[in-house]
Every structure is written in C-alpha cells, then in structure tokens.
Amino acid sequence: METEGTLSPESAAAAREAFESTGPTAKQVVREAARAMEFGRQEYRERVTSEVVERARNVIFADRLAVTVGSREAFDAWVDDYPEYEVIELGSEEVDSVAWHVAPFAGTVVAATFQNEPEAAVGTLRKQAFSRVYRPEFETERGADDAE
C-alpha cells in the first residue's frame, strides 16, 4: 500500500481552512495561464471570472487529498476495521486494486476500483471525493455565512 497526498481533515473547519488556503495559489495559477495565453487586460477581465478561479481552487484542493492505493483485500480490511464509516465505492468489486480517501469529519470513505491504471483511479477518486464530500460541506457553510 502507498499513500499519495496529505490532506484528510479531521473537522469541517479544518477542511474549510485547507480549502481557503488554496485561493491565492488558484489565483496565481489562473493569472499565469492567462499570461501564457497572452490575454490583454480587457480579455483577462472578461474571461477570468470568479468561477474560473473557483474551479482552479477545487482542483488544487482535491489534488492534496490523501489517497491510499492498495489491494482489494487491504481496502476490505480497512472497511472492516472502521464499520462506522459510510462507504462510497465507485467501479467494480471484481477488480484487484482500490484507491480510497478517508474523510474523518464526514465519517465517509470514498473508493475507486481499478485493474491497471492507478493514476487514473486516483484522479477520478479525488474528483469524486471533492464532489461528494467536500463541495456539499463548503456550499452548506457558504449558505450559512450568506444567511448571517
């Protein structure tokens, strides 16, 4: 087994803090990409919206998520050891390998199965974990902030 990435927040507040910390990097990445595409000031203002920066932030955050890559047996043993976690498994149970991310604050583990392409599974898993666990949490918090 091996683990890629480091982020596995213990609390919703820690997840939010990690997400917010990626904002400046996302802005810089988008700015540099626009510069490489030779956007003028006007084109930059028109095309580089808050949604563009937000998507970059989502990808940067998701790329930091801790993902364990191992055998089906190792994943099943982890699930047996933590029965309190909700399991979201993507893919086939009939393949030999699994990549998984544990989100302790949500009591959830998201897994993607694969046979031969661990990099693809890790990428898919990170997108799915962000979409299924983190984005809803961040949107709920944002909605609460807006209501105040």
Tokens 């989502």 -> residue: 58
Q: Which DSSP category does 113 fall into?
A: E
Q: Is the pTM of this model over 0.75?
A: yes
58-87 per-position pLDDT tens digit = 999 999 999 999 999 999 999 999 999 999
Provide the pLDDT for residue 142: 55
Provide the pLDDT for residue 141: 59
Closest by Cα among 64, 65, 39 to 52 = 39
Domain boundaries, the chain: 2-147
Average pLDDT, whole number, for the chain? 92
For residues 44-64, give the mean pLDDT. 94
Q: Which DSSP category does 18 fall into?
A: H
94-115 per-position pLDDT tens digit = 899 999 999 999 999 999 999 9
Q: Is 26 left (phi over 0), alpha (psi -120 to 50) or beta?
A: alpha
